[in-house]
Amino acid sequence: MKLILLGAPGAGKGTVAKLLTKLDGSVQISTGDILRGAVQAGSDLGKQAKAHMDSGGLVPDSLIMGIMEKRLQEPDCQKGFLLDGFPRTIPQADALKALLAKIGIKLDAAVSLEVPREVILDRLTTRRTCSNSSCQAIYNVKSMPPKVAGKCDKCGSPVVQREDETEAAISHRLETYNQKTAPLIGFYQKEGMLMNVNATSSDAVVNAIKQKLGIK
């Protein structure tokens, strides 16, 4: 399958993508993970991206499009891919449309995950992430805490709250999303590719996508 997953920060795009990859070998492509890896590595790209990510703002297109063009042409994308958090703006969507036409790839759908704001705030302010850049396991202090407080179950590294997941940063990220990313719903609706799904349950989202694409 070849999907775009749309939704506000905390809507569950990453969780849904991980579940979908198990169905047919499609790969999850998250620009967030790629950029956080660059930040951890201290690369030039990472240093440029860090200021934007820490404040909850969007990373500029100039840092994103080159990464995405290269990524979509890697061998593991041949079975399919799930774009998690990309595109984020109408210009990116236009650029992606042109890129896919250039390399001969047709998308199956753009799936919009609909979640109430209060649910998103609760999900993200209680989320914790493993500080080891090669692990980055995700926990939730309410629903899925690590077995030992503050330590990753998988690798033993400290589990921390990311700087872009404080309540102030999340509120800013949601405002940014509403201004710049939410218009993508209209873009893909005009393209005839939009699929709206109530995303309070990840399993319900996966089942709806399977039904839409005829996957058993």
Of 36, 50, 88, 128, the catalytic one is 88
pLDDT at 69 exceeding the cut of 80: no
Angle, to 10 degrees, between the axis of helix 44-54 and the axis of helix 31-41?
120
**In which band, very low, low, confident or very high, does the pLDDT at 37 lie, cut at 50, 70 and 90?**
low
- Read off φ and ψ for residue 200, nearest 5 degrees: -70, -15
Domains recognised in the chain with CATH numbers? 2-115+176-213 (3.40.50.300)
Above pLDDT 90, what percent of the chain?
40
Q: How far is CA 197 from the centre of its chain?
A: 16
Of 2, 13, 50, 123, the catalytic one is 13
Is 88 among the catalytic positions?
Answer: yes
d(CA 204, CA 208): 6
Is 13 among the catalytic positions?
Answer: yes
Is 127 among the catalytic positions?
Answer: yes
Of 2, 50, 127, 128, the catalytic one is 127
Q: Which of 76-80, 116-120, 173-177 has maximum average pLDDT?
A: 76-80
Residue 160 CB contacts under 8 Å (≥ 6 apart), including other chains? 128, 129, 131
d(CA 20, CA 26): 7
Task: Evaluate whether 195 touches 113 at the Cβ level (below 8 Å).
Answer: no
Of 71, 97, 151, 162, the catalytic one is 162
Is 173 among the catalytic positions?
Answer: yes
Task: Evaluate whether 159 touches 131 at the Cβ level (below 8 Å).
Answer: yes
Interval 47-59: pLDDT, tens: 888 888 788 777 8
158-178 core/surface letters (b: 16 or more CB in 10 A; e: else): ebeebebbeeebbeebbebbe
Angstrom CA distances, 151 to 74, 122, 137, 138, 197, stand at: 34, 21, 11, 11, 34
| Residue of 27, 35, 34, 28 whose CA lies nearest to 13 | 28
Of 36, 50, 123, 173, the catalytic one is 173
Interval 86-138: pLDDT, tens: 898 899 999 999 999 999 999 999 999 988 888 888 888 999 999 998 999 99
d(CA 107, CA 123): 29
